[in-house]
Amino acid sequence: MRKKIVAGNWKMNMTVAEAKALVAGLKPELANFREVEVVVCPPFTALAAVSAELQGTNIDLGAQNMHWEKSGAYTGEVSPEMLRELFCHYVILGHSERRTYFHETDEIVNRKVKAALSWGLHPIVCVGETLQQREAGEVESVITTQVRGSLAGLSPREILDSVIAYEPVWAIGTGKTATSAQAQEVHALIRKILGQMFDPAVAQGVRIQYGGSMKPANARELLSMPDIDGGLIGGAALKADSFIAIAKAAI
């Protein structure tokens, strides 16, 4: 049985003060929540403060990106060791916004994924097609290339320590959610690709989140699909009540 995982991707939102207030709003309902794994991913500047607020709770901390090196002359970057020091358990890698605006390729994402795993961080590896690619009938080839490229060279143990997020780019922040059938179809495809890369039994153990305009009104239906094991939530994670409602819909 795969335990569902609901993660909030706060993106470039939340000052330290706002982040603390949001966590304070989540804690009454989620601090002792055990049925679903809950993760919050604040911006780097709020990680330390949120980490302190989460101590002793059942909510895990994640980052939104990292460099693959331990340290060095990489102005503006943050290393896996720095994230570990703040008790991050997860790190989102290869989000479509990183791929689009910061030109991250599958090869770069793969380096980061391997670095994260070697530091004991669980990567949340994002894949997804654009609207243009969907309309051109390229979903299968785009997803196959991204999954194979981003996860190349991992051991079975490492893929089981990773989470994959299917985020159709056309559904991110647009209010347009994939239908549960559309999402399920791609989740099943991702599991099939993992079965070919590793083996089908290993693929059965890997958690695959859906992301893209997930909200309380559509979460339950998406999360009831057989291959959808959680959500990566952007906009609806910025308000305590909607994030709590989505986490509860995953039970």
Binding site for ligand PGA (CB under 6 A): 9, 167, 172-173, 211-214, 232-236
Q: Give the CB-nearest residue to ligand PGA.
A: 234
Taking the C-alpha atoms of residue 5 and residue 35, their distance in angstroms, rounded to an integer, is 9
Specify whether the CB–CB gap between 222 and 231 falls below 8 A. Answer: yes
Q: Is 95 a catalytic residue?
A: yes
* H or E, element range at 231: strand 230-233
**149 phi-psi bin (left φ>0, alpha ψ -120 to 50, beta other):** alpha
Taking the C-alpha atoms of residue 2 and residue 5, their distance in angstroms, rounded to an integer, is 9
Task: Supply φ then ψ for residue 163, to 5 degrees.
Answer: -120, 140
Q: What minimum distance in Å lies between the beta carbon of 70 and ligand PGA?
A: 27
Nearer CB in complex with ligand PGA: 80/212: 212
Contacts for 142 with CB less than 8 Å, ≥ 6 apart: 129, 133
Q: Please give the sequence-ordered ranges of beta strands (E in DSSP) within 48-173, or none if there are none.
A: 59-63, 90-93, 122-127, 163-166
Q: Chain-centre distance of CA 72, in angstroms?
A: 27
Q: What minimum distance in Å lies between the beta carbon of 170 and ligand PGA?
A: 10
Nearer CB in complex with ligand PGA: 18/81: 18
Exactly one of 95, 97, 122, 158 is catalytic; name it: 95
Q: What minimum distance in Å lies between the beta carbon of 169 and ligand PGA?
A: 9
Nearer CB in complex with ligand PGA: 117/233: 233
Nearer CB in complex with ligand PGA: 64/198: 64
Q: What minimum distance in Å lies between the beta carbon of 248 and ligand PGA?
A: 17
Nearer CB in complex with ligand PGA: 82/169: 169
Q: What minimum distance in Å lies between the beta carbon of 232 and ligand PGA?
A: 4
Q: What minimum distance in Å lies between the beta carbon of 99 and ligand PGA?
A: 11
Nearer CB in complex with ligand PGA: 9/110: 9
Q: Please list the active-site residues.
A: 95, 167
